[in-house]
Structure 1
Amino acid sequence: MTDPHRLDRQMAFLNEADALKGVTRHNVLMDRSRPENVAEHSWHVALWALVLAPDAPQGCDLARAIAMLLIHDIVEIDAGDHSVAVAHDPHEIARKENAAATRLFGLLPPDQGARLHALWQEFEENATPSAVYAKRIDHMQPILQVFLAPEWHEDHPDIAGHTLTEGRARRIAQDWPALDAHTRALMARETPPAGPLTARLAFLAEADRLKSVNRATLALHGARRENSAEHSWHVALYALILAEHAPIPVDTAKVVTMLLLHDLVEIDAGDVPVFGAVDTAAIEAAENAAADRLFGLLGSEGAPLRALWEDFEANQSPEARFAKSLDRFNPPNQNLMAGGGSWVEYKVTREKFDAAVLSKVAAGAPILADWIAPKAHAMIDALSQS
């Protein structure tokens, strides 16, 4: 018998995951404007795994590695982030992270929670080809975030260099010599050789700018505006958790990949609030120009990613319809946690919500529309009477 509260439990986990956006890391954004948070880092490393997939080890399941990276740091909601630059007790960290994993994955339905907990443990144990690839990405991305930046943070090059040569990434020279050589050239302020790896890293460095694109939606129970990178992580996590609710079976990995990519064009075109005034033609032109530039950074390797973005935009395939529905389903859940959130700012009525959001969710995920409708309507009605 299906658990009638299954979706409630899944949403409890996904709403709790919002807290990862408030956990800061030692790394800073490449423009040095602020510290990075763990949610946007999790999005970025998943994107790194996707783009650097030609260098994945034999036997790696790319979809599995990306799923690992989406959840690998979820335990930091309870356990916090631990910089490689600060001495710490690894046994105490492991104890805290295991307790966090038990609590957080325990929010999910038991079967799903057990699968994700096992996936997280697989990443931690670093023994399978998929986990090895995900770990390499997680170790190298912060180092390259330092050395690919236009201007280096005062003390970060020393930390990153030590991590590469003597710390947790020291095996990269043996396991991924091309990436190691490229990184060492950057460290020495030399120009790495041209080639596919250089283009991939240039694209991934440019993607860092998505962390500075703010959205209308609020995060952290209304504490601040969400940015498009952490939104992309969160909605990709939605896909991982909620794929079973698609009206027809979908390729979950394809939905996740679409959502990792779907807002990249906002680096150039900006975010468009769903309840704001919209010039559709101008937005489409700006986003297509952004897609030309951004995916063009990858040369011929950008074509399949561009095709996935276009698939999402066309909203015709089962995966695109479900991904589009998730993209509209995520913000109202955050508004509910924020006591109305952007609904207050835009004076949203039931009619506006149903037309702009609920109908779009229902088009690709009717079960999710039925779940959110009474909750959103009750909140919107209460706001209109206050």
Structure 2
Amino acid sequence: MSGSGSDRLTAQFAFLNEADRLKQVDRANVLMDNSRPENSAEHSWHLCLWALVMPLPDGVNRNRVIAMLLLHDLVEIDVGDQPIDLPHDADALQQAEAAAAKRLFGLLPPDIGSALLSLWQEFETAETPDAKAAKRLDYSQPMFQVLCANPPRPDHLDVVRMNLTRGRAAPLAKDWPAIHARASALLAQMAPDDDPDLAARLAFLAEADRLKSVYRATTLVDGSRRENSGEHSWHLALYSLVLADQAENRVNIQRVTQMLLIHDLVEIDVGDVPIHSANGQAHASADTQAAESKAADRIFGLLPTETGKELRALWDEFEAAQSPDALFAKALDRVQPVMANLMSGGGTWVTYDVTLEQLDTRVGSKIANGAPEIWAWTRDQVLPYFHDRMFSA
């Protein structure tokens, strides 16, 4: 690889590794099963899923909304979560977030960093139709995170009540009356208006929350804990945004992003099947594929028929890994754990005693099929690890 291409990928992966830290920023909200606080990375993934399945106003670009939501909370790596029911200095927070955005997007090659910073700023100012639609979703998801919990926490219900009546969600009564009315009915423990389409979409989104409790073999970049499949899906979608320049001209990056947002939903039923487990055989076994197909039937079947069919077809395309979009998505799905293992000192390579030859066969070939330049760069990064391991054995 040329020096300039190598330097570019080095900067892109430096940003993506730094973004991993968002998985450790806890929010005031909790998971719907009340087991732990929700973090900002899995919140961002869930919001993108909202953007993928919820109807949006006419003229709004769904893909730009998803891109904004992928990025919108990255600044919390530096400034943390700001619960809406607690006082804060708005001007100071705005300045701190702007400084964080400048630092984070400044890690990227200038052309990518400038484009993503502009998108983040558009979301913050909320003046365009796309940004306003993204904000509406960002105001709605946390309320239903509370209202769909089992059971909802009384103190969190108080925050929702304040939010609906005089907080930032109050304008939804005009801007998105169906979602405001349903939230209000759930808060009052009343039967909501009969709207089977909205009810089905919300049921799917509530079920998706369970993916945040599916833990993978791969750890976070710093090795502090295992990654869950919700935050992994967010990180992969971010990969698609940042590494879009590595895709062939035939690749539709927006479709790749959507694939990666939904690709692991079947793990709600099946769990994570590590690629290196059972000597690399379990991941692609007929039993695993059958179980995942059954899970896809159930989970996408929760949605209104047409939406469910569209997303199921997209999931099937990803699994088949034949189209240019799916091949690039698969490449990103393979390279992200490689980076986590490399940065954390070996990770699952140590757990499963993986050799360089096995990495080439199980992982490298899949990355090279969809993103050959990414694999050429990545293999250069992992070679010293396997070299040192071989000579220290």
Flag whether TM exceeds 0.5 (same fold).
yes
Give 1:359's aligned residue.
365
Separation (CA, whole Å) in 2 of partners of 1:241 and 1:374: 20
Counterpart selection for 2:26 from 24, 31, 38: 24
Counterpart selection for 2:296 from 268, 291, 294: 291
**Equivalent residues of 1:343, 1:380 under 8 A apart:** no
The answer to whether residue 44 in structure 2 is matched with residue 42 in structure 1 is: yes
State the 1:195 CA deviation: 1.3
**Equivalent residues of 1:344, 1:383 under 8 A apart:** no
Deviation track 1:224-271 (CA, whole Å, cap 9, x = no partner) reads 000000000001000011111113431111000000000000000111
Deviation track 1:186-245 (CA, whole Å, cap 9, x = no partner) reads 111122224100000000000000000000100041000000000000010000111111
State the 1:352 CA deviation: 1.1
Deviation track 1:90-135 (CA, whole Å, cap 9, x = no partner) reads 1111011000000000011111111110000000000111100100
Compare 247-256 and 313-322 and name the one that shifted more. 247-256
SS in 1 for 2:154: coil
SS in 2 for 1:217: strand
SS in 2 for 1:189: coil
Q: Which amino acid aligns with 1:62?
A: R
Q: How does 1:149-298 map to 2 (within 5 A)?
A: 149-192=149-192, 193-277=194-278, 278-279=281-282, 280-298=285-303
Q: Which ranges in structure 2 are unaligned for 5 or more consecutive residues?
A: none
Label 1:220 to 1:373 Cα distance change in 2 as closer, same or farther (>3 A): closer
Separation (CA, whole Å) in 1 of partners of 2:79 and 2:389: 36
The answer to whether residue 347 in structure 2 is matched with residue 345 in structure 1 is: no
Separation (CA, whole Å) in 2 of partners of 1:249 and 1:90: 44
Label 1:2 to 1:353 Cα distance change in 2 as closer, same or farther (>3 A): closer
Give 1:335's aligned residue.
341
Separation (CA, whole Å) in 2 of partners of 1:101 and 1:140: 24
Q: Runs of 4 or more off by more than 4 Å in structure 1?
A: none
Separation (CA, whole Å) in 2 of partners of 1:145 and 1:306: 24
Q: Which ranges in structure 1 are unaligned for 5 or more consecutive residues?
A: none
**Equivalent residues of 2:34, 2:150 under 8 A apart:** no
**Equivalent residues of 2:61, 2:130 under 8 A apart:** yes
Q: Which amino acid aligns with 2:214?
A: V
SS in 1 for 2:277: coil
Q: Which amino acid aligns with 1:143?
A: M
Separation (CA, whole Å) in 2 of partners of 1:24 and 1:339: 25
Separation (CA, whole Å) in 2 of partners of 1:154 and 1:343: 44
Label 1:220 to 1:329 Cα distance change in 2 as closer, same or farther (>3 A): closer
Separation (CA, whole Å) in 2 of partners of 1:359 and 1:23: 34
Q: TM-score, normalised by structure 2?
A: 0.96
Counterpart selection for 1:10 from 6, 9, 12: 12
Separation (CA, whole Å) in 1 of partners of 2:164 and 2:350: 48
Deviation track 1:282-313 (CA, whole Å, cap 9, x = no partner) reads 10111011001000001312000000000100
Give 2:53's aligned residue.
51
Give 1:120's aligned residue.
120
SS in 1 for 2:276: coil
SS in 1 for 2:212: helix
Q: Which amino acid aligns with 1:26?
A: A
**Equivalent residues of 1:46, 1:66 under 8 A apart:** yes
Separation (CA, whole Å) in 1 of partners of 2:40 and 2:160: 18
Residue correspondences, number: 384
The answer to whether residue 76 in structure 2 is matched with residue 73 in structure 1 is: no
SS in 2 for 1:326: helix
Label 1:376 to 1:144 Cα distance change in 2 as closer, same or farther (>3 A): same
Separation (CA, whole Å) in 2 of partners of 1:335 and 1:382: 15
TM-align CA RMSD:
1.3
State the 1:66 CA deviation: 0.2
Q: Which amino acid aligns with 2:206?
A: A
Separation (CA, whole Å) in 2 of partners of 1:26 and 1:380: 41
Give 1:382's aligned residue.
388
SS in 2 for 1:85: coil
Q: Which amino acid aligns with 1:336?
A: L
Separation (CA, whole Å) in 1 of partners of 2:104 and 2:204: 33
Separation (CA, whole Å) in 2 of partners of 1:173 and 1:17: 35
Separation (CA, whole Å) in 2 of partners of 1:209 and 1:77: 24
SS in 2 for 1:87: coil
Separation (CA, whole Å) in 1 of partners of 2:252 and 2:218: 28
**Equivalent residues of 1:148, 1:205 under 8 A apart:** yes
SS in 2 for 1:155: helix
**Equivalent residues of 2:221, 2:339 under 8 A apart:** no
Identity score, percent: 55
SS in 1 for 2:243: helix
Q: Which amino acid aligns with 1:269?
A: V
